[in-house]
A and B are shown apart, each in its own frame.
Chain A
Amino acid sequence: MVAAIANGLAKDSKRSVNTSGAANKASTEELEDLSINKRFSLWNFWVCSLFLKLLLVPDYFSTDFDVHRNWLAITNGMHLKDWYYEHTSQWTLDYPPFFAYFEWFISHLVPSFVRRDGCLDIVEVGQFGWPTVLFQRLTVIFSESLLFLVLQIYINTSEVEERTQSFIVASSIVLSPGFLIVDHIHFQYNGFLFAILVASIVAARNKRYLLCALFYSIALCFKHIFLYLAPCYFVFLLRVYVLNFENFKFRSYKDLIFLIRWKNLCQLGMIVVGVFSLCFGPFIFDMPQLLSRLFPFSRGLTHAYWAPNFWALYSFLDKVLTVFALRLHYVHNFAAKFIAPSLLPSSIEEIRQRIAEHNNGTKGLVQDVFFVILPQISPKLTFLLTLFYQILAVIPLLFDPSFKRFMGSLTLCGMASYLFGWHVHEKAIMLVIIPFSFLVVFDRRLLISFTLVSSAGYVSLFPLLYENADFLIKTLYTFVWCTIYFFAIRKTTKLSSSVERRRFFLDRIAIIYICLMLPTVFIIHFFDVMKWKYPLFEKFEFLGLMTYSVYCGIAILSSWIGLSWLYNFDEPLWM
């Protein structure tokens, strides 16, 4: 690699020597002209990724495949009223109704030979063969085309000067390893669902606020995980479309009435209410059942594999402290002098007892996470923390509702919920990376934060695919995606004026940190392959997953800190 860079530099210098001699003005202009009028089409990307995705059809798929197959069967074979009551299979329908309608629609496209294969049978565990796999994989591939379409519109509606950047953003999203891993191997419909969210972002960029609200509420009715972004959308639309500060003078409280553009408010309200009534109307008498399916609160703080968020680091700290306290008693004795027993176990015996009671680990089903040393975390606390940081992210939007701010606040909202939420899935990182992609092209200083969160986020998806066959595909694809897009974004973004304020020391560390991810992934995989040989490795099987979540967690947390810093304290960047 170093040699290659040196080689490239040598080439450059050679070329510049050549150039200094005979620069021909006419031909220069010609070259410049050649670069105008370029076509920014995602067509090639669509075709090319289509080929790759088709090759992935025989690949491993997770239980989510059977989940979606079961939903196809439920929506096809049952009356609408029973959709949310059906529980033959453990994979009950737990997406909002629009998604159920979507599945219902797809189930009508099932050809007869796929139906005979057992695609539409309501059974406990799906019995199916390759026709079902092929059919469902194809529905993912073709529904994802919507994402390409929306992003093509995004490119075409952006200013001519910004086309290059828009093109980079759009292609980076459609080629994202996240969609490849989660949709086309693991099996989900994220590409299609995010297309709707992206549509609302594009509408916001084009100042079509009603469309923005429409698309966002549709997206919300497809997948309720988008609820995490709701505060941001709410404040943005409120400020930019409903409130009117232009000729506002406060003389008495009566004037507050003129602050609100009532007509706009009614339009907005009608759209949102309309979408929601379309979605939930048919289920109006079954709402408690529906909601209990959508929001199952019986789950634990973290998933079996810790999503790399704040709680992963917290759990990790708890484990480290436990080991320390058991090995080095005086540490505990010292700490116990300052910290009251409710926050800290009073004695070593109590620690031992706690461990015995809750055989806590990352293996197995973790319904209830229990911390040995550190204070327990309640859902309420996570909710408050999330809300607090979301509000912090939203406040600047009230004063400056520009698209840039909106994207920043959207990213931070996503990050806050990802980092502090209750039972967060590692897949939720897409909720951060997608809005961030739109933001990062505005300034190069955002790049380092973006590289951290996107590389760590995608790497944290790796444990989803635990099969050896997928190891090289996921690693190579993520690697090449990161190389291309970090390079491309670096080349096309500009630095704003306040460049020298911060030394680039931290950036260097971040780059090293990202580069070290590759050997880490390889080492973890090596231990995973060799674990049968050494019982020691087997015992610490969870260690690999823990390394993933802690390593990526640190990256994502520092990315959040970096972005928050720029968001709150760097005014010129957001002008």
Chain B
Amino acid sequence: MRSPEPKKKSPKTKLKAKSKSNPKKASKLNNEAIEEVFYASPLYDFLYPFRPAGNQWLAQYIIVTFALIIRCAIGLGSYSGMGHSPMFGDFEAQRHWMEITQHLPISKWYWFDLQYWGLDYPPLTAYHSYILGKIGSFIYPKWFTLNDSRGIEMEGIKSYMRTTVLISEAVFYFPAIIYFSKWFGKHRNQSPIGQYIAATAILFQPSLMLIDHGHFQYNSVMLGLTVYAINNLLDDFYSVASVCFVLSICFKQMSLYYAPIFFGYLLSKSLFFPRLFNIPRLVGIAAVTIVTFVAMYSPLYIFGGGLENLIQSVHRIFPFARGIFEDKVANFWCVTNILIKYKIKFTQDQLQLYSLAATVLGFLPALVIIVLYPKKHLLPYALAACSMSFFLFSFQVHEKTILVPLLPITLLYTSTDWNVLSMVCWINNVALFTLWPLLKKDGLILQYAVCFALSNWLLGNFSFVTPKFLPKMLTPGPSISAIHENYHRRSLLPHNILWKVVIVSSYLSMAVFHYLDFFVEPPTNYPDIWITLNCVIGFGSFVFFWMWTYYMLFTLRNKTLMDL
């Protein structure tokens, strides 16, 4: 009776027949107003069965569960500094903070044995560690006994620590990302499934997964709080946004990379737009910001023995004594250091000044644009441009810090412009590539390869290969019917020929790098030459991308959300 109903997982035809189709979707098909993101990618194929209204609610839980599963699976690998006594690595640092925060009075937190992983993050990290340490001690006190537990590697501690990251991320990062992609999707008339596809694309960003769950850190908390701040800006809750952003800064100072844009946006919204001199709003934002800072730091002052402790904590957070860069990192100073030996030629103070000037020059145009055009769709671009300039030019940058600019860039997966999407895919791959030396040191080679392949494959970057070598009966995808002859993933490259050249050459050089790194021993007098090559490739790509974000900022400044 019914026409053949070959549907992927659910009786969409039946549902559709009942609801007589959805005019919104139908009109979309006619006008081709907004195309699905990642059309014809494996992600699209997977989420396609959730298109009917009755199934949609399930989609987000499934996405989140799979995101958790893949993170658990990454967590089975080793962590930074596993078995490397006496200093171990970031895992031990985080565990050590849980240990000291719960055993020492607050006045000692920023003073205790600074040589061995002294606390060097703002107080919210300390409080976070305190809570997790308390819970951990309840489960098994030996994990966190003072001093005796250093470098502990017993069964259970790894699982516990991994679980804490997972839960922190599930609380702070996942809801923020899902809300963000839903907000953008709704305001740009994307279908619900398009929104979920975007959310999945963001959640399966490989670099963050590997650093947080492989290498071991809690970056997702900071990034999640920032996304909460962005979400509140989107909803015009300015005070809440500033609270969230201050909390984000108080978790890790790295989120100061976003500060100019938040500052400019809030300032412009309260002083110039939509009406001039909205003083109550300005005062409200300022008051809330100050109150949050005070609330965060007051325990250090009240219970921690006054101003001295406060200054020490700030001193620990901004370690200017540690030089312009430590390990090799794909930013301006480290790469040009090949030609000009900064550390010999200039003093520390000079370098600080230069890097400050360069950074300010780098983000100033973005700040000006966001002040003049405080528009929501510009936020990701402005944040990306600003934080990227910090990454490229500021003092004491780590390779992991690329996660900070990567967040607003990855949020652009909510876009539907294929040029934008392919740029974002590309820079995500480059960022992952720059993390390679770190991950290799941590013994996460397998995880690196799998995450790279998984994220790209989900987004359909390999889809141009599959139909060619697969037999016809295996060709994936929901449909290659007469109507949709064009059911194949769009090219993973932007339309512009220049960009094509840049991207393809960067991919080629990455392949060459991996070949060299794997098969060729570096010459004895330049043992770091491959890592330097890695940094050069990364730096070049980041600079190109940084300029592209500026270009997009300029071109999009007079447009609306729909043109993102």
* A contact set with B: CB distance below 8 Å: 4-5, 7-8, 11-12, 15-16, 18-19, 21-24, 27-28, 30-44, 47-48, 51-52, 54-59, 152, 156, 160-161, 163-164, 167-168, 171, 467-469, 471-473, 476-477, 479-480, 483-484, 487-488, 491-492, 529-530, 532
Question: What's the Cα separation between A469 and B158 when bound, in Å?
Answer: 8
Interface string of B453-486 (1 = CB under 8 A from A): 1100110000000100010011111111111100
Interface-side segment among B9-17, B321-329, B519-527: B9-17
Name 28 A/B residue pairs within 8 A (Cβ), A-sorted: A16-B19, A19-B19, A19-B23, A23-B21, A28-B16, A31-B25, A32-B3, A34-B481, A35-B16, A37-B6, A37-B480, A38-B7, A39-B478, A40-B6, A51-B453, A58-B77, A58-B446, A152-B473, A160-B4, A161-B5, A164-B6, A476-B65, A476-B69, A476-B72, A483-B65, A488-B10, A492-B9, A529-B156
- Contact partners of B336 in chain A: CB under 8 A: none
Whether A55 and B450, one on each chain, are in contact in the complex, defined by CB atoms closer than 8 angstroms, is: yes
Closest B-chain residue to A46, C-beta based? B474
Docked Cα-Cα span, A492 to B52, in Å, equals 13
Contact of B475 among A30, A39, A160, A484 (CB under 8 A): A39
B348 is an interface residue with CB less than 8 A from chain A: no
Q: How many angstroms between the C-alpha atoms of A217 and B70 in the bound complex?
A: 38
A40-B481 Cα distance, complex, nearest whole Å: 13
The answer to whether A164 touches B23 (Cβ under 8 A) is no
The CA-CA distance from A483 to B458 in the complex, in Å, is: 22
Smallest Cβ-Cβ distance to A164: which chain B residue: B7
In the bound complex, what is the Cα–Cα distance between A4 and B481 (angstroms)?
Answer: 34
Q: With an 8 A cutoff between CB atoms, is B310 at the interface?
A: no
Q: Does B115 sit at the interface, judged by CB under 8 A? A: no
With A55-B450, A467-B155 already in contact, 8 other A-B pairs whose C-beta atoms are closer than 8 Å: A11-B56, A23-B23, A37-B6, A38-B6, A52-B73, A160-B6, A492-B7, A492-B11
A3 and chain B: residue at smallest CB distance = B57
Q: How far is the CA of A168 from the CA of B60 in the complex (A)?
A: 20
Residue B287 at the A interface, CB < 8 A?
A: no
- Assess A8 versus B56: contact at CB under 8 Å? Given A164-B8, A472-B166: yes
Give the residue name and chain of the A residue nearest to B48 (CB): A38
- Cβ of B42 within 8 Å of any chain A Cβ, yes or no, is yes
- Chain B contacts of A11 at CB under 8 A? 53, 56-57
Inside 8 A of A483's CB, which chain B residues have their CB?
Answer: 58, 61-62, 65
- By the criterion CB–CB under 8 Å, are B11 and A491 in contact? yes
Q: Which residues of A contact B26 (CB under 8 A)?
A: 24, 27-28, 30-31
B21 and A55 contacting across the interface, CB-CB below 8 Å: no
A80 to B456, CA, bound (A): 47
Q: Are B69 and A480 in contact (CB under 8 A)?
A: yes
A480 and chain B: residue at smallest CB distance = B65
Evaluate contact between B72 and A473: CB separation under 8 angstroms. Answer: yes
Judge whether B30 and A27 touch: CB under 8 Å.
Answer: yes
Q: Are A51 and B450 in contact (CB under 8 A)?
A: yes
A156 to B162 Cα, complex, angstroms: 42
- Are B159 and A35 in contact, with the CB atoms below 8 A? no
Name the one of B61, B72, B483 contacting A33, with C-beta atoms under 8 angstroms: B483
B53 and A18 contacting across the interface, CB-CB below 8 Å: no
B57, A27: Cβ atoms closer than 8 Å? no
Tell whether, in the assembled complex, residue A492 and residue B447 are in contact, meaning their CB atoms are under 8 Å apart.
no
A281 to chain B, nearest CB (A): 36
Residue contact B8 to A161, C-beta cutoff 8 Å = no
Query: Does chain A have a CB within 8 A of B22?
Result: yes
Give the complex CA separation of A471 and B4 in angstroms: 42
Report the Cα distance A471→B162, complex, angstroms.
12
Q: Is the interface of A mostly helix, strand, loop or mixed?
A: helix
Top-7 shortest CB links A-B? A27-B26, A8-B57, A55-B73, A37-B481, A468-B159, A163-B6, A28-B21
Q: How many contacting A-B pairs (Cβ < 8 A)?
A: 218
B20 close to chain A: CB less than 8 A: yes
CA distance A58 to B72 in the complex (A): 12
B466 contacts A492, C-beta separation under 8 Å: no
Query: Given A31-B29, A37-B479, A58-B76, are A44 and B20 neighbors across the interface (CB < 8 Å)?
Result: no
Tell me the complex Cα distance, A169–B454, Å.
25
Alpha-carbon gap, A562 to B81, bound state (A): 54
CA–CA, A487 and B477, complex, Å: 21
Residue B353 interfacial (CB < 8 Å): no
**CA–CA, A56 and B156, complex, Å:** 18
- Check B19 against A55 for contact (C-beta < 8 Å): no
Contact with A along B297-312 (1 / 0, CB 8 A): 0000000000000000
Give bound CA distance, A564 to B60, whole Å.
37
- Determine if B481 and A484 form an interchain contact, defined as CB atoms under 8 angstroms apart: no
* CB closest residue in chain B, given A47: B457
Chain A residues in 8 Å Cβ range of B27 = 24, 27
Please tell me which one of the listed residues B45, B58, B66 contacts residue A44 in the complex, with CB atoms under 8 A apart.
B45
Please measure, in the bound complex, the distance between the C-alpha atom of A445 and the C-alpha atom of B156, giving whole angstroms: 44
Q: Which of B8, B12, B446 contacts A55 (CB 8 A)?
A: B446
Contact of B23 among A24, A167, A473 (CB under 8 A): A24
Q: Are B70 and A55 in contact (CB under 8 A)?
A: yes
Q: Decide: A532 and B62 in contact? CB cutoff 8 A.
A: no
Chain A contacts of B453 at CB under 8 A?
Answer: 51
Residue of A at shortest CB range from B140?
A: A532
Chain B nearest Cβ from A118, distance in angstroms: 21
**B139 in the interface, Cβ–Cβ < 8 Å?**
yes
B contact residues around A160 at 8 Å (CB): 4, 6
Contacts of B78 in A (CB 8 A): 58
Contact pattern, B 119-155, Cβ under 8 Å of A = 1, otherwise 0 = 0000000000000000000011000000000000001
Complex-state Cα separation, A33 to B466, whole angstroms? 25
- Which chain A positions have C-beta within 8 A of B140? 529, 532
Are A35 and B156 touching (Cβ within 8 A)? no
Q: Which of B365-424 contact A (CB under 8 A)?
A: none
Given the known interface contacts A41-B476, A43-B466, A476-B65, the answer about A35 and B6 at a Cβ–Cβ threshold of 8 Å is yes
* A43, B5: Cβ atoms closer than 8 Å: no
Q: Tell me, rounded to whole Å, the shortest Cβ–Cβ distance linking A470 to chain B.
A: 8
Interface presence of B68 (CB below 8 A): yes
A56 engages B76 (CB within 8 Å): yes
Q: Can you name the residue of chain B whose Cβ is closest to the Cβ of A469? A: B159
A17 → chain B, closest Cβ, in Å?
11
CB contacts (< 8 Å) of A492 on chain B: these are: 7, 9-11
Q: How far is the CB of A113 from chain B (nearest CB, A)?
A: 15
Q: Give Cα A491 to B50, complex, Å.
A: 12
Q: Pick the contact of A22: B4, B9, B13, B23 (CB < 8 A).
A: B23
Let me know if B58 and A468 touch, CB within 8 A. Answer: no
Question: Closest CB-CB distance, A529 to chain B, in whole Å?
Answer: 6
Contact of B510 with A by CB under 8 A: no
Minimal beta-carbon separation of B547 from chain A (angstroms) = 34
Residue of chain B at shortest CB distance from A529: B139
Given contacts A21-B23, A41-B475, contact A12 B4 (CB under 8 A): no
Contacts of A21 in B (CB 8 A): 23
B253 at the interface (CB under 8 A from A): no
Would you call A473 and B45 a contact (CB within 8 A)? no
User: B55: CB under 8 A from chain A?
Assistant: yes
A473/B475 in contact, CB under 8 A: no
Q: Decide if B100 is an interface residue (CB 8 Å cutoff).
A: no
The answer to whether the Cβ of B548 comes within 8 Å of any Cβ in the partner chain is no
Closest chain-A Cβ to B494's Cβ sits at a distance in Å of: 26
Q: Smallest CB-CB separation from B481: which chain A residue?
A: A37
- Taking a contact as CB atoms under 8 Å apart, the answer to whether B11 and A152 are in contact is no
